[in-house]
């Protein structure tokens, strides 16, 4: 069976277990793979950092309650958070690093800061 190089698509000659025609093609392929996954990580991290900055600024200004629309208007992205902590009474806090919030009804949220070390299970 004819095998094609994963990088350039040329037919591979020789051993059938080879995936690339040359070392250069293997390097190209792996570099591209790393770059793509690094870009993804960088983009997600950027969103998380932006969310954290927004929460941190509000918290530092003394704000403890804010409407979700106001948070959204500041550029907050509710899809991205680092973790969720559920307290013993069932309240869920969404965190971006050490800043988090819980929903208090009527689309308002309450801000919270928790720098304590988190134990992962
Ligand atoms: Zn190739």
Which whole number is the average pLDDT over 92-106?
Answer: 95
Query: How many structural domains are present in the chain?
Result: 1
Inside any domain, residue 120: no
Q: Is residue 27 part of a domain?
A: yes
CB atoms within 10 A of CB 63: 13
Please give the Cα distance from 109 to 65 (Å, whole number).
6
Question: What is the 6 CA–ligand 1 centroid distance (Å)?
Answer: 7
The Å distance, Cα 7 to ligand 1 centre, comes to 5
Å from CA of 63 to ligand 1 middle: 58
Q: How many C-beta neighbours within 10 Å does residue 33 have?
A: 11
Q: Are 27 and 8 in contact (CB under 8 A)?
A: no
φ, ψ of residue 29 to 5 degrees: the values are: -60, -50
For range 51-70, the mean pLDDT: 97
In whole angstroms, what is the distance from residue 77 CA to residue 48 CA? 8
Q: Which residue has the tokens 């954290």?
A: 52
Establish if 121 belongs to a structural domain. Answer: no
Q: Note whether residue 118 is domain-resident.
A: no
- Between the CA of residue 47 and those of 56, 63, 101, what are the distances in Å? 14, 21, 17
For the whole model, what pTM was predicted? 0.73
For residue 55, the CA-to-ligand 1 centroid distance in Å is 48
Distance from the alpha carbon of residue 23 to the mean position of ligand 1, in angstroms:
8
pLDDT digits (tens, 9 = 90+) for 7-52: 999 998 877 788 999 999 999 999 998 888 888 899 999 999 999 9
Output the CA 106–ligand 1 centroid distance in Å.
59
Residue 39's domain spans which residues? 3-113
Report CA(94)–ligand 1 centroid distance (Å). 46
């Amino acid at each position: 069976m004819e095998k094609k190089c994963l990088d350039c698509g040329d037919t591979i000659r020789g051993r059938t277990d080879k995936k690339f025609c040359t070392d250069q093609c293997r390097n190209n392929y792996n570099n591209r793979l790393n770059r793509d996954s690094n870009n993804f990580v960088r983009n997600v991290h950027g969103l998380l950092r932006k969310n954290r900055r927004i929460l941190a600024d509000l918290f530092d200004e003394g704000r403890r309650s804010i409407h979700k629309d106001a948070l959204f208007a500041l550029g907050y992205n509710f899809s991205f958070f680092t973790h969720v902590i559920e307290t013993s009474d069932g309240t869920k806090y969404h965190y971006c690093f050490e800043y988090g919030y819980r929903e208090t009804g009527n689309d308002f949220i309450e801000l919270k800061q928790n720098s304590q070390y988190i134990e992962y299970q």
